[in-house]
Amino acid sequence: MPASPPSVQATKKRVLFLFSDTGGGHRSATNAMIEALNLEFPGLFECRMVDVFRDYLPPPLRYAPEIYVPMAKYPQTWAAGYKAFDGKRRSRALIASLYPYVQRATHRLYRENPADLIVSVHPLANTGILRTMKRNPTPFITVVTDMVSTHAFWFDRRADIVVVPTEEAKEKALGYGVAEGNVRVVGLPVAERFRVPPPDRMAVRERLGWRADLPVILLVGGGDGMGPMARVAKAINEARLPATLVAICGRNEEMKAKLEAIDWTMPHHVYGFTTEMPDFMTASDMLVTKAGPGTISEGFIAGLPLVIYSRLPGQEEGNVDYVVAKQAGVWAPKVAQVVDAVRTYVLDPAARRRAAEASKRVAKPDSAREIARIIAGRVGVYN
């Protein structure tokens, strides 16, 4: 149901969302927040999305969305870059050195996109914009879309509100100087369809053409089909488990072709990019995934045991520790470990149920709606 009637109703409030397609999580989180604003406060907000890198920044920064996937294929190189500037002084020094180069672009972004509120969902969009508008500030909210291992770039004390997904991320924010009263622990925003899944999972299986009599293993690699998906899928197939394997390859057509070429001995379904992930999770019994925060959060909401087979060093290490500490899944960095974990969840329904219940306990299905209310409160349309 929409929130209670607003205390002030005038012209639509303009909200500018700053994101970038460096990984799928920033866009999906933004879309979830816009959806929630429209559901909670229909007709009261005008939302605009800007890809900070692609739309405004000069080269080579402009090409960050295209560079992201190739860089992520080299984890150690990624880790070195991530950790090199993950500190208060180092991060500030880098931003200070880059600002003269991007200053004209950030001023143009701010000038061309007048708003009543700015919401940033990208760590590299925060300090530059806050510095740009210091003489004529617009209310500014940072929504952190990393789960636990949150980089220093996320946190600028000038932000009015910093929304984080976990208590662990809150501690990071406080450590980087954000006032405790400005931090909100809410969760990661996910689409409404994850929040309200279909009531009949077997009806979903029937529609999708999946067998109703076998556990379903859902294997995903993020929106770009990253990680050793092919080796994992092949090993699960060779284990000859009494289960169905459903593999989601995202936009990675090469990965999809590799999986389709496997000499399959078990029931299976291979998909590319799909908008049906809420239904897929509803109809599945376990989730085998890389450690992306969005997919983990969606898995929690669906109440799925997690088997995490891959992570980006630095950025996603804390996600793995969080899942394991909450007993919602296991870390299985070797293919044989993936198979062992999946075998346990397939053959031991009690173990599967315990992990599923743990997932449900840490789920935050209402995060997008709560963030929508925070946004509305900041611009005076919700008490």
- Structural domains of the chain, with CATH: 13-190+365-378 (3.40.50.2000), 197-362 (3.40.50.2000)
Quickly count: other Cβ atoms within 10 Å of residue 159's Cβ: 24
Categorise residue 23: left if φ over 0, alpha if ψ from -120 to 50, beta otherwise: left
Read off the pLDDT of each residue in 270-284 and give the average, rounded to a whole number: 94
The amino acid occupying position 135 is R
Q: What is the pLDDT of residues 129-157, one digit of tens each?
A: 999 998 779 999 999 999 999 999 999 99
The pTM (predicted TM-score) of the whole model is 0.91
Q: 226 is written with which tokens? A: 């990253």
Statement: residue 318 has pLDDT above 90? yes
Q: What is the DSSP letter of 272?
A: S
Supply 355's token pair. 């992990």
At 363, the amino acid letter reads A
The pLDDT tens digits for 169-215 are 999 999 999 999 999 999 999 999 999 888 899 999 999 999 999 99
What per-residue confidence (pLDDT) applies to 238?
97
The token pair that represents 159 in the structure block: 């932000």
What is residue 11's predicted lDDT score, i.e. its pLDDT? Answer: 86
pLDDT at 281 over 70: yes
Range in 20-29, 219-228, 271-280, 316-325 the model is least confident about: 219-228
Question: How sure is the predictor about 87, in pLDDT bands with cuts at 50, 70 and 90?
Answer: confident
How confident is the model over 326-339, as pLDDT tens digits?
999 999 999 999 99
Residue 266 buriedness (CB in 10 A; 0-12 / 13-18 / 19+): middle
**What type of residue sits at position 342?**
V
Mean pLDDT for the chain overall:
92
What would the two tokens of residue 101 be?
Answer: 């180069």
pLDDT at 306 over 90: yes
Query: In this predicted structure, which of 70-74, 154-158, 191-195, 370-374 has the lowest mean pLDDT?
Result: 70-74
Quote the CA–CA distance of 296 and 310 in Å, as a whole number: 12
Token pair of 255 as six digits: 């990965």
pLDDT at 7: 45
SS3 of residue 256 by DSSP: helix
Angle, to 10 degrees, between the axis of helix 349-362 and the axis of helix 293-302? 110
Whole-number CA gyration radius for the chain: 21
- For 331, the enclosing helix (H) or strand (E) is strand 329-331
Question: What band does 319 get if pLDDT is binned at 50, 70 and 90?
Answer: very high
Maximum C-alpha span of the chain: 65
Q: How would residue 378 be classed by pLDDT, with cut points 50, 70 and 90?
A: very high
- Please list the residues that pair with 268 across neighbouring strands: 245
In this prediction, what percent of the chain has a pLDDT beyond 70?
96
- The pLDDT of residue 84: 84
Q: 335-347 vs 349-362: helix axis angle to the nearest 10?
A: 100
Give the pLDDT band (50/70/90) at residue 9: very low
pLDDT at position 22 over 70:
yes
Distance set, CA 181 to CA 38, 162, 174, 308 (Å): 27, 10, 10, 34
